[in-house]
């Protein structure tokens, strides 16, 4: 049994607390919001973000960050990506040397173009930082539906330790050394999911969504490999796996926000309607910045940014994508006959 603190009591943090407690671990769930703490203590359920998932009385709930970081074996950082830096900064004075921190949020900081693990390591340089990612909607994990993720760490030993912590009959965990690839796939797929949702809102069909998923994955892998990630990672759970579920699922807040934009909502109206952090909106600018920094062509990412931040109509963006110059799908493949 491990002592685990889950920092962030949104849908994913709550679902992971439920999972880890069921795995037999001692779990303490932290939230910065006093009203959220009181609701969880009284109801043992997150009524707005994860209704129907009952938390065991064994799970502690607190708003005291210092208490939450009193010598846990593992700290799971589950705050939305825009709050990763500020929360890490608050955590730093209480973190012991070598503390295992597992980030489970997905995003890239648009100001610095840093991944979330890089942010945590900058704010808490004495921590041992890992990431957990994959196609894993909180609603389904909370119901005990079979789910598979991947954990990445700087060392095999840490990755395998965390694999054992999270693994259960309904939650299978793989390991990989490619932390950068895992984080890029996890964050950039949210931007593609906005595009897929927008296509749904415009009334387009499965053909359109399949095109966005496959060409979107091509863009993600193209950038990721240029940055040092591995193709195998983008073909795996945190790449194509997470992209498929986020583009297709009714649980996906990014797809839902895109759907509303396709229906004519502004970006802000869509985010207000979703009522949760839409990670893809924050990652879109960062994705565009990375594409420019590394000289990588990412037309879907570019059009999403124009729709979100420049007032371009979604329908016009689709037309411009369809009418781009003719391309070869896989330029690296040779022809048998060049004539």
Full residue range of the structural domain in which residue 66 is found: 3-177
Q: Let me know whether 146 and 29 are in one domain.
A: yes
Q: Let me know whether 74 and 206 are in one domain.
A: no
Q: Let me know whether 21 and 133 are in one domain.
A: yes
Q: Which element (helix H / strand E) includes 228?
A: none
Residue 338 in any domain: the answer is no
Q: How far apart are the first and last CA of the chain?
A: 66
Q: Could you tell me where the DSSP H helices lie in the chain?
A: 11-22, 34-43, 65-68, 84-91, 116-123, 138-142, 156-166, 179-201, 206-227, 231-234, 242-248, 253-262, 267-274, 279-294, 299-309, 314-322
pLDDT tens over the chain, length 339 residues:
999 999 999 999 999 999 999 999 999 999 999 999 999 999 999 999 999 999 999 999 999 999 999 999 999 999 999 999 999 999 999 999 999 999 999 999 989 999 999 999 999 999 999 999 999 999 999 999 999 999 999 999 999 999 999 999 999 999 999 999 999 999 999 999 999 999 999 999 999 999 999 999 999 999 999 999 999 999 999 999 999 999 998 888 899 999 999 999 988 899 889 887 788 888 999 999 999 999 999 999 999 999 999 999 999 998 888 888 888 888 888 888 876
129 φ/ψ angles, rounded to the nearest 5 degrees: -100, 135
Catalytic residues: 189
What pTM did the predictor assign? 0.93
Q: Which CATH number covers residue 159?
A: 3.40.50.720
Distance CA 247, CA 105 (A): 17
């Amino acid at each position: 049994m491990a002592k685990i603190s889950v920092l962030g009591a949104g849908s994913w943090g709550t679902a992971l607390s439920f999972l880890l407690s069921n795995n037999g671990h001692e779990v303490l769930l932290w939230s910065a919001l006093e009203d959220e703490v009181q609701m969880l203590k009284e109801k043992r359920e997150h009524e707005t973000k994860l209704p129907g998932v009952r938390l065991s009385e064994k799970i502690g709930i607190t708003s005291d960050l210092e208490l939450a970081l009193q010598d846990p074996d593992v700290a799971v950082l589950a705050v939305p990506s825009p709050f990763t830096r500020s929360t890490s900064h608050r955590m730093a004075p209480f973190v012991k040397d070598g503390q295992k921190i597992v980030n489970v949020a997905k995003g890239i900081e648009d100001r610095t173009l840093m991944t979330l693990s890089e942010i945590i390591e900058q704010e808490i340089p004495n921590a041992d930082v890992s990431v957990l990612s994959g196609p894993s909607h909180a609603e389904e994990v909370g119901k005990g539906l079979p789910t598979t993720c991947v954990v990445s760490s700087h060392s095999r030993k840490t990755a395998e330790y965390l694999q054992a912590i999270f693994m259960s009959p309904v939650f299978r965990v793989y390991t990989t050394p490619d932390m950068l690839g895992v984080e890029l796939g996890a964050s950039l797929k949210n931007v593609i999911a906005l595009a897929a949702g927008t296509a749904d809102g415009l009334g387009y069909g499965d053909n359109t969504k399949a095109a966005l998923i496959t060409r979107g994955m091509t863009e993600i892998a193209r950038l990721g490999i240029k940055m040092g990630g591995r193709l195998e990672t983008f073909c795996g759970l945190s790449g194509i796996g997470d992209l498929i579920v986020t583009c297709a699922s009714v649980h996906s807040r990014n797809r839902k926000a895109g759907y509303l934009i396709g229906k004519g909502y502004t970006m802000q109206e869509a985010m207000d309607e979703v009522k949760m952090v839409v990670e893809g909106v924050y990652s879109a600018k960062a994705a565009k910045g990375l594409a420019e920094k590394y000289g990588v062509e990412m037309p879907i990412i570019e059009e999403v940014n124009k729709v979100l931040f420049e007032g371009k109509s979604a329908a016009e963006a689709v037309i411009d994508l369809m009418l781009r110059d003719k391309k070869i799908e896989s330029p690296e493949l040779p022809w048998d006959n060049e004539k």
